[in-house]
Structure formats: structure tokens, C-alpha cells
Structure 1
Amino acid sequence: MENRWAETHTDPLDACVYGSRLLGREPDLVLHGGGNTSVKTAVEDVTGRAVEVLHVKGSGWDLASIERAGFAPLRLDRLRELLTVPDLPDHRMMNELRCALLDAGAPDPSVETLLHAALPHPAVLHSHADAVITLTNLNRPRVEEVFGDRVVVVPYVMPGFALARRCAELFARHAGERTVGVVLMNHGLFTFGEDTEQAYARHVELVDAAETFLARHRPARRPAPPLPRADHRELAALRREISSAAGHPVIVSRHTDPATAAFVARPDLADVAGRGPATPDHVIRTKRVPLVGRDVAGYAADYRRYFEEHARPGLTMLDPAPRVVLDPELGMLTAGRRAKDADIARDIYAHTADIIERAEALGGYRALPAGDLFDMEYWELEQAKLRLAGAPAEFTGEVALVTGAASGIGRACAEALRARGAAVVGLDLTPTTSSTDYLGLRVDVTDAAAVEEAVARGVERFGGLDVLVASAGVFPGNTPIAELDAAAWQRTMAVNADSVATLLRVAHPLLKCAPRGGRVVVVASKNVPAPGPGAAAYSASKAAVTQLARVAALEWAGDGIRVNSVHPDAVFDTGLWTAEVLAQRAAHYGVSVDAYKRRNLLGAEVTSAAVGRLVAEMCSETFACTTGAQVPVDGGNERVV
């Protein structure tokens, strides 16, 4: 491990912020909110009296991006008093920690605050270093062989008061002049120093020693052939089974990188993967074990037995669906309520698989017993977090595909669906930037092969398809029928109608697998019920796609798929309407631009956002009993009414 310290800070808390970020940016040390850090200082309170303060990482902050506000300041003398009581249940401990804060607006202190207070050093850093955890998760741990008397070893105890007391006791008994850290078995590494820079340097030294030792024993990676392309219909069906076990829709992402391909090809995959996570806090994200194979019902039944064996009175079982699926043909699938959750499970299990392989080369991987892992999974503090989380957004766990997603109505539809919790695959000729819950793909919707490829990529990323919004369209300009250009006519029909037929054909088997039923919304036009002169190609193509949607509603109702259309009109915040064109049209009618925009019965300005909100609502439970409908969004048009 490389020492990356390169700054000078005179303020101890600023130095702690900097050192925390250095740790947090190393995925081999800290993943997704893991780890915690602290620094002890002295401040004057409102009375002018000097007070010793422990600034400790606050709950909910990520070390990779933490700021000064992310540290909770607590009275150190009160924390030391708490360490003298014989017992302190977790909920009472957290209450006492909040009462010890100097700032009522500070975040909740880390559950390991008392451990930081127990270590008699100004600066303390804690990580879940993969290399150190590998040394602890062995049939014959090698911690003392690697570190000698530089660390105090603490047997596994759940985080909280009991761990802090046990660590304080063992540290007082075994720490010596050469001691620079504490190794918590199956949990991670603490280092300390006179300042954060020294604590960080010691962290680097110990992790590097562990990595050097492991490098001498690292197994040769078994070469594995690339995993084949999965049938996206099978992935969608598997997602439906996982969603059914979870009791709600989930995102399922597929991972087929070379390391994953090699791991799932292991002949002992079920054995090694079935031993448990590398560190118990991972159980919150990955469950105790992954599903090996595709028997989701069998996994759920095993989970129920696990719960019944270890449950205490008053506990409510969490959902029994797997969060990680390992399969020799599929690779690794990770599941979560949101794409972010599935990605976290991926990151954690990728590191777990590496730890398992290195541990197996050193005599055998061993995780904690199931009872200890159950205690973490059903820890009262984690249960409290779940209760406080609130209800998820309506489309959480669902996947939408939107065409024409880079601008105008298509972009507004994508934004409205994302705002209500959906993950979105956006297709457009103009490239769009992807993010955790958005996959932007450059696709010509008239290219059937490209559309099929894009849909398959969307399924690999998010697991299936629940919502389809056909918004891509072109308007060839005002041209009388007598002057129609054949190529323009064909292009308009290809984009506005033919491409939707292709998309519906490709999407149908996926929409059939949607956990809460598939939904399709076709963005048509006011020109369907009320065409205008000079728009023959546009009006005919939108009429054709509307008729296509009506037939789909008839054919697909038995599959639980509802298909509806919207008819927008005069949506002026799209690429079609430039300021120059708007001014010309307003002048033609002898009105201002603002008046021209509001030429409808309600005098309303129809925006892309208004269309997007309606489209999203039509995918909601509000329209659960509606299919085959055509809904205008035009402010009221006397020719239509």
C-alpha cells in the first residue's frame, strides 16, 4: 500500500478530514460508508472552560468525501465515564452519545465512538482492510505471524459497548512500546498516533506488511473463458423470481468481468461461497450467503429456516431474497431496491471473492458462525435505521426504457420516472451521460439490431423492463401532399411508427416478466384526432403508432401489460421550436410569443415537464385499471374537444 499523504494541516480536525479521505478513497480499505476515524482536541465551551473533545465520524457520512461537518464532537470525559459502567445496551448507548454532544445539530456519532475514546491516543483510524481481514479469516489466523507485537489482537465482538470495553481491557493488558494498532478479528484494523498523519502512516505500514505477506502466497488465478451473453428474457424471469421473494421489485445487475468468471468457475464454489461474508457488517448488504445457481425459492426457504433457528422473540423477518447470485453461466448477479444498492453488493462481493481465494491459498477461508452473523443482520441499531428510512419512492426497483431521451419530451419523461424512483435506460441519437440509475445509449431507433442490442444492455444493467415510453419522433416540416418527398415520408414513418413496432416486439417478453405488470406509454400527437394541413407524414405516422398502441392494448392485456397513449400539442420547449420559429409563428397569427404559446382553451403553457409528469402518472397505480386510452395534454383544443 502506498503512503499518499501530501498535505500539511495545522488544525487537527482538518488533518483528520484529509486522512479520512485518503482511507476512504482506497476500496481495499473502505467500502461504501465503512470505517471510521477520530481526533481528540481541546476547545473552550460557552463558559470559557477548556473541554476535551472527541471528534468522531458521524453516521451516514462516507470517508471518501467527509467534511468537518461530518464529525460529531463529544465530551471526552463523559465518554470515559460511560466506559466504566458494567453494561450499556445499544439503544441506551446511542442516547448517551447524543447527550454527550457539544453540538445538538451534529450527526449521530459512530457506533464505535467508545472504542475511539478508549484508545489513549490523539488520532485513531479504522478500516476494513482486505489484506488484514484475509489474515483473520483463516482456519489458522496469521495475524501475529505478520504483525508480531505491533498490534493487540481482539477476538470478535459485535460493535458497540461490549467491543469498546473488551478492546480497552486487552489493550491495557497487552499494549507495549512497539504497539501501533489493534486488529479486530473478522472486523478490521485500528491504528493511532500523536496526529492523523502518524496514524495514517502506521495504517499504511501494517496494511502493506499484510499485502506483502499475502503476495508471497497469492494463488495463480485459474484462467476462465469469457462468460457467454445471457438470454435477456431469462434474466428478466430470474429478476421476477427474486422480486417475488423480496416482496417488491428489485434491480438486478449482471457482472461478467474476468475475476468473476474465474470465481464462479471454481469447482468448490458452493462450499467456499457458503461459508459467509468476510466481515459481519457486509451481511446487511449481501445477506449471509449468496445464492449459488438459480433456485430462488430454495434460497428463500433456507433463509426462513436460518431465521427460525436464530430469531429472538419480537423480531420480524427481513425479506428472504438473495442479494448476490453466483452462477457458472451467468457470472454474478447483484440485487437491491435501487441500482445503487445492487452496485454496493457487487463491490462488496467482488472484494469478498478475492479474500476467499487468497485465504484458501493460505489454508482455508473461515467466516464467523451463522449465529454471530444473524446478530449483526438483526442488530437493533440496523433495525432502527430500517424503521426510520420511510417508504421508498413509487417506482423504486423498477426499470423504464425511454426513447428520444436526450431532449424535449423524452428527457422530461426520463426525469419524471427517475424522480419517482425508477432506473432508466435512455435511447437517443445524441449521447447522454450515464449515472448509477441511468444508462444512456446512443441508438438509432430505426436500426432494429441496434435497438435489440440496447434493450439487452439495459437488461444486463438493471435486470428487466417494467415501463416503456416511446417518445422518439421527427417532424419533417410543413409540406403539402402534392409536394411530398418520398424519402421524407419514409423517414417519418420509420422513426414515428415502424421503430415503435420493433421496440414493442423486442420489449414484450420482458414486460411480461415485470413484477408489477408492464406499462407502455406511446407519445403520439394532437394531430391524431385533429390533423392539420401540411403535416401529412407526421399526422399519418402518429395515427399509425396510435393504432399500433390500441392493438397492443388488446393483445397484451392478458399478459398484465397496459398500453396507453398521450397526445401532446404545442410543446414549445423542444428542439423543434427555436426562438426564431416561435417569433415567426406568433407574427403569423398577429399575437405575442407568450400568447401564441397559450393558444388553448385553458390558456396554459404546455411544457415537456407537464407531458413527462402525465406519462409517469400513467405508469402509476392511478392508471392501474386503464389500458387502450388516449389522453390529450394540450391545454384543451376546440377541434379535439
Structure 2
Amino acid sequence: MASAIHPEVAGLLARSHRLGSDPRNTNYAGGNTSAKGTTTDPVTGGETELLWVKGSGGDLGTLKAEGLAALRLDRLRALKAVYPGVEREDEMVAAFDYCLHGKGGAAPSIDTAMHGLVDAAHVDHLHPDSGIALACAADGEKLTAECFGDKVVWVPWRRPGFQLGLDIAAIKEANPQAIGCVLGGHGVTAWGGTSEECEANSLHIIRTAEAFLAEKGRPEPFGPVTEGHEPLPDDERRARAAALAPHVRAVASADFPQVGHFTDSEVVLDFLSRAEHPRLAALGTSCPDHFLRTKVRPLVLDLPADAPLEQAVARLAELHTEYRAEYRAYYERHAVAGSPAMRGADPAIVLVPGVGMFSFGKDKQTARVAGEFYVNAINVMRGAEAVSSYSPIEESEKFRIEYWDLEEAKLRRMPAPKPLATRVALVTGAGSGIGRAVAGRLVADGACVVVADLDGTAAATVAEELGGPDRAVAVTVDVTSEEQIAHAFREAVLAFGGVDLVVNNAGISISKPLLETTAKDWDLQHDIMARGSFLVSREAARVMIAQKLGGDIIYIASKNGVFAGPNNIAYGATKADQAHQVRLLAAELGEHGIRVNGVNPDGVVRGSGIFAHGWGAQRAAVYGVEEDKLGEFYAQRTLLKREVLPEHVANAVFALTGGDLSHTTGLHIPVDAGVAAAFLR
């Protein structure tokens, strides 16, 4: 039976959720909270004092008990006696493990010392934009005193660690009137004797800083609007962003493929329209949480918003070359013997005046959060410039954080990426049947998926089932329409930065003898499957070539493309058309690293959208069996005597795209349980 949660833990979680749910208080996964209390030692039966503190990783707004580290305070405080000094303070993180109470819980974070050594029952360390604005102002110490008097104490920049914990503990002891401190270049810390007092002190610091910046700050701290950098009209702006997105993704993915996110919020567009944005962007972000997510500085396109697209693409390539050279020089300026190897020289943030911000990461959530962190940085710059001037920590200190051994160790502890991580897929006909199964398999193996279907409601349902916008988005598309296909790809690149994997699955079938097949029947099936696949593949190739990342195009064809069955002229002919498109496009697109392959299913009855809408009844009548027995009938005519299901087709799509068949193109894989007449020759 599970033990009841400790009252101090319950209060700590509730406080954390309240603080973390408001972005004014702290950024995503930023900061940590703690509580001290007593519990019964299961070994001695006596009382022991514990520290519960948010562990490494996780987010305050959604923190759970298992996200806390529980440490014995007597052992944690005893570490002061063995502390080897600031030059070796990183060794203390490993020492925290010897202070843990029991099994389970999160790994202690670098900020554990701050919480354990400060003489207060409750401590909050947060990263509010208002607090960081003061922390990153050129005269932050003076402004802190002006804002708070002696209730909040200034702490000069020091890298997070054991020494910072000692410093803050000493400051609290020397300033009994203080409720907290502003940490230069970093954030704020508050304390209290109760959870309620600590939370009230945290909010007092944050709201007082907000009011101070609003009342004392000068208007337009980013300067006047620059001609040509004003935001483009909404539709024009999104169209421009979609046109640029694959080229921007190429810039961000030269070293490692990345998933993208696009933001055109008012905060971003206003910043990019102002005269001071080039200077401020070049200074980079400051708070460690910011630049670990956003890289040391962004890449900024220095052209008017309405510059010709070709000029913008060419300038992006030039700026990318410069950015990479500058980043390598930054690394070489500060790397020492034993520094981790350079992790890549591409930007994580690309800013385009008049259009918006592209942010990148290993997955959609990481990319989205990187963008959120840069918005935090813009807010910090605005506050600092309003009352002083923005003055982030030194570049050398940024390097120490970015290439910190502890950060490198954290990266090494992360699980290996899934086979399709960083890949963006678009699946047509994904609202049901085979397409739905394919979309599910691709998401399960790490891809982001655009669920495209004529039935927008079905597509939205599937996208939600797959995890929502960080994993899947829905688009309504009729694949016979060039305009709708172009729109679907625009939505895809705005959602995820680009497209790497396309599955042509949309289909329909009308089973009739030759003399009963009308021209309308013929045209409809060819429009959806043959013409539709061509149009989707053409749009996909445009995006993939611009990205310079290669790609996969998969056709869900059919055994009927090679097998001459009765009463099936229109469907069989269009499937043969699709099958040859695979060969033609494989030959044409190989020079761009784009592989084109096909899957030939047969007899997929259960879960099939086509069979559910009349095709099943028609084929059952042809073969003289009951419709609900059609799947069994198909199975018995195969060599393996097994029924084919949508997930079996999805498995074949994964086999072609999951990495093991990296040198295969122009191939058709039968998924028919063995139909000898359809063997490929």
C-alpha cells in the first residue's frame, strides 16, 4: 500500500504549481522550489530532518512528488566541511547522492546547495523576466536597491553551484530583514518560514520588479521602428514564413537534423521592427536557462521584410557561413584541455524582421520551448533597456555554462533518440484505416506527423489521439486540388519547420466491370490516386530539395498494380500508375538524397476506410462471399493464410524509412501475406 504524501511535500507541490503556472513567475522548466521538514527515519525510528527540492529537469507547473529529490539535511550541511573550493565545486554534485534519503525521486540539481544551506524552511529560486531584467541591467545592483530597499539583496554573478549556495546563505544571515535576493545575470531567490510566506515573498519580488520597470522605464526602449522592418500583413507574413521555412531549416540542420517552430507573436514582431534589435540580438541572452536553449546568440536576417525571396535565401546562406565561423571562433576562444567537443555550429534561433522567429530543437517541444525562451529574453532586454542598458554576463561565462561538464553529463544521460526522431512526416488519407495506422507508427517511432485527410474532423481526432500539436497536427486536404496541397505543406512547414517523409495513402475504389465503368469512375480514381500522388510528391520534393536533408516518399500502391483481377479496371490501372511513379521519381530525385519506395498491400479489410465505404460490399459480391467474411476469404487465398491489417502496412512503411534500408530506392514491398500472382518480377 502506498504511503501517504508528507504534508510538507503536498504544500511544496501546490506552491510549485501555482508559481509555475504563470509565465510571469518563471520560464518553462526554470527555477526550483524546496521545503524542509521532519520525518521518521525507517532505520532508527527517530526523527530526521529532510530537504525536498525540485530535481534536475522537470517543470514547476506540472511537478509531481517523484520529481523531487529528498536529502538528509544533516549530511547535506556536513558537506561544507569537505567542500574543496570553487575550482572543484562541480565535485559536490556527485556528493549529493550520498545525502539522499531512500530510493526513487529525481536526481539532485546543481541548485540543491542553495536550498539546503540557506537557513529557511522554504526557498524558491525563479527566473521571472522582470527579475532577470534587473539582474541583467548594467547597474543592476543600484536598481535593485532603488526598487526594493534593503528587503532584497544584490548577489553578483556567480555560476550556479555549491559556492553560490554558500554565498546566499551568508547573505541571508547578514541581512535578517531580507526576504530574498536578485542574482546578477541569473534570476531571483526568495525564502520564508512557511510555504505561504515564501510564496508571498517570491510574488512580492516579481510584482514589485514589474511595477518598477513599468513606472520607471522609458517608452520604446528598443528604439524607433525601422523602415522596411514593419510586420508584413498577416496572410503575406505567413506565406513568406512558409516559403522561407525549408531554407531556414537547412541553415539550422547542417550539423544535425532539427525540428522547427515558427512564432510571429506581437512581442517578436515588435522587437524585430525596432532599430536596436541587431545590437541587442548580437549581445545574446543571459540567464543560463535562456542560452542553453537558444545558443549563445541568434542568426538575424538583415534584409527588409519585402526583399525578394531569392535574395533572402541567398543572404541566409551567407549569414549561415558567417555564423558558423563566428561560433567556431567563440568555441576556440574559450575551450580548454578537457572541454567537451563542439556540439554543432548552427543557430537555434533565426530571426526574420517583418516575418517572425524560427526556433529549432531535437523535437517539436524543444523547438517550441527554445522560442519561448527567446521571447523571455526579449522581455528581459526590454526591461533592462527601459531603466538602464542590457548587459548580459561575459561571453567566457556563457561558454563555461554551455560547455559545462555537468551539462555534458546530463546530455549523456539522455535516452537514445528513437529511429525517426527529428523527422517530419505528412500522411495523406490519415483520418482512418491504413493512413491512420501509418501515422500512429511514425509518431511512436519519434516522428512529428501532419495528419492530412479530406475529412478534417477525422484528421483532427487522429492528431489529438497521437498527442496533440507537439507530435501531430491535422490539415484538411483534397489531394485533387493543387491549392489545397500547397496549403497543407505550408501548414506543415509552419508547424514543424519542414517535411522529410511523405506517405501517399489517400485513395478510393469503385469496383465495376469494364462495360459498367464510367468515365467519371475512371477520372475520379485517377484524380485522387494517380494525379493526387503526383501533386503531393511534387510539393514534397520542392520542400525536401530546399531543406538539403534528403527525404522519403512512400506510395501505398496495391497488389492490384501488378495483378490483373476481375471487374477492377479503373482501380488496377491507377495503382499501376502509382507503382511506376515510384520508379520514375526514384530515378529523378536520387541526386537530392530523396528515396522513393512503395508498399503493395492486399486484402486490408478490417479498419480500412476504402472497404468501409462500399468497396468491401462490391468485392464480396464479385467473389460470392459475405462482406463480414471478406477478410477471411482474402487470407485463405494467400500463401501464409493470414489476414492483412493496417498495422502490417504501417510496419512496412517504417521498415522503408526507419534507417536500416538507407540505400534502398525504387522498391515495392508486398504486404499481402503471399499472393503468388502478384510476385514482382
Does the pair score TM above 0.5? yes
CA distance in 1: counterparts of 2:488 and 2:351, whole angstroms:
24
1:151-550 superposed matches below 5 A: 151-173=152-174, 175-177=175-177, 179-216=178-215, 217=217, 219-220=219-220, 224-226=230-232, 228=237, 229-230=239-240, 232=242, 234-244=244-254, 247-293=255-301, 294=316, 295-315=319-339, 316-431=341-456, 432=460, 433=463, 434-476=468-510, 478-550=511-583
* Closer/same/farther in 2, CA of residues 150 and 370 from structure 1, 3 Å limit: same
SS of match in other structure, 1:495: helix
Percent identity of the aligned residues? 33
Q: Is the 8 A contact 1:218 1:358 kept in 2?
A: no
SS of match in other structure, 2:253: helix
Q: Is the 8 A contact 1:404 1:473 kept in 2?
A: yes
TM-score (norm 1): 0.93
Tell me the residue number matched to 2:106: 107
CA distance in 2: counterparts of 1:552 and 1:594, whole angstroms:
33
Cα displacement (A) at 1:164: 0.8
Show structure 2 runs of 5+ residues with no match: 302-315
For 1:192-226, what per-residue CA distance to the aligned partner results, in whole angstroms no more than 9, with x for missing partners?
A: 22221221112112211111111222634867333
TM-score (norm 2): 0.87
For 1:11-60, what per-residue CA distance to the aligned partner results, in whole angstroms no more than 9, with x for missing partners?
A: 22111100001111112222221110111111111221110111111223
SS of match in other structure, 1:149: coil
Q: Is the 8 A contact 1:567 1:630 kept in 2?
A: yes
Tell me the residue number matched to 1:116: 115
Cα displacement (A) at 1:270: 1.9
Tell me the residue number matched to 1:570: 603
CA distance in 2: counterparts of 1:310 and 1:420, whole angstroms:
38
CA distance in 2: counterparts of 1:523 and 1:584, whole angstroms:
19
Cα displacement (A) at 1:385: 1.0
Q: Is the 8 A contact 2:603 2:631 kept in 1?
A: no
CA distance in 2: counterparts of 1:355 and 1:503, whole angstroms:
43
CA distance in 1: counterparts of 2:265 and 2:90, whole angstroms:
42
* Closer/same/farther in 2, CA of residues 486 and 90 from structure 1, 3 Å limit: farther
Mapped pair 1:551 → 2:592:
no
CA distance in 2: counterparts of 1:231 and 1:291, whole angstroms:
16
Q: Is the 8 A contact 2:232 2:354 kept in 1?
A: no
Tell me the residue number matched to 1:136: 135
Cα displacement (A) at 1:146: 0.7
Q: Is the 8 A contact 2:54 2:69 kept in 1?
A: yes
CA distance in 1: counterparts of 2:582 and 2:632, whole angstroms:
34
CA distance in 1: counterparts of 2:299 and 2:350, whole angstroms:
5
Give the counterpart letter for 1:306 in structure 2.
Answer: Y
For 1:75-98, what per-residue CA distance to the aligned partner results, in whole angstroms no more than 9, with x for missing partners?
A: 111111113444263553122211
Mapped pair 1:49 → 2:46:
yes
CA distance in 2: counterparts of 1:623 and 1:139, whole angstroms:
56
Q: Is the 8 A contact 1:249 1:396 kept in 2?
A: no
Q: How many residues align?
A: 628
Mapped pair 1:39 → 2:5:
no
Moved more, 25-34 or 341-350: 25-34
SS of match in other structure, 1:52: strand
| RMSD of aligned residue pairs (Cα, Å) | 2.4
Moved more, 287-296 or 510-519: 510-519
Q: Is the 8 A contact 2:500 2:551 kept in 1?
A: yes
* Closer/same/farther in 2, CA of residues 414 and 584 from structure 1, 3 Å limit: closer
SS of match in other structure, 1:333: strand
**Correspondent of 2:58 among 49, 56, 61:** 61
Cα displacement (A) at 1:113: 1.2
SS of match in other structure, 2:240: coil
**Correspondent of 1:78 among 75, 78, 85:** 75
Q: Is the 8 A contact 2:423 2:499 kept in 1?
A: yes
Show structure 1 runs of 5+ residues with no match: 1-8
Q: Is the 8 A contact 2:249 2:260 kept in 1?
A: yes
CA distance in 2: counterparts of 1:90 and 1:283, whole angstroms:
22
**Correspondent of 1:23 among 16, 19, 29:** 19
CA distance in 1: counterparts of 2:15 and 2:558, whole angstroms:
57
Give the counterpart letter for 1:311 in structure 2.
Answer: A
* Closer/same/farther in 2, CA of residues 69 and 390 from structure 1, 3 Å limit: closer
CA distance in 2: counterparts of 1:395 and 1:578, whole angstroms:
31
CA distance in 1: counterparts of 2:243 and 2:613, whole angstroms:
45
For 1:472-524, what per-residue CA distance to the aligned partner results, in whole angstroms no more than 9, with x for missing partners?
A: 11122x32221224333322221111111211222222222344422211111
CA distance in 1: counterparts of 2:592 and 2:154, whole angstroms:
59
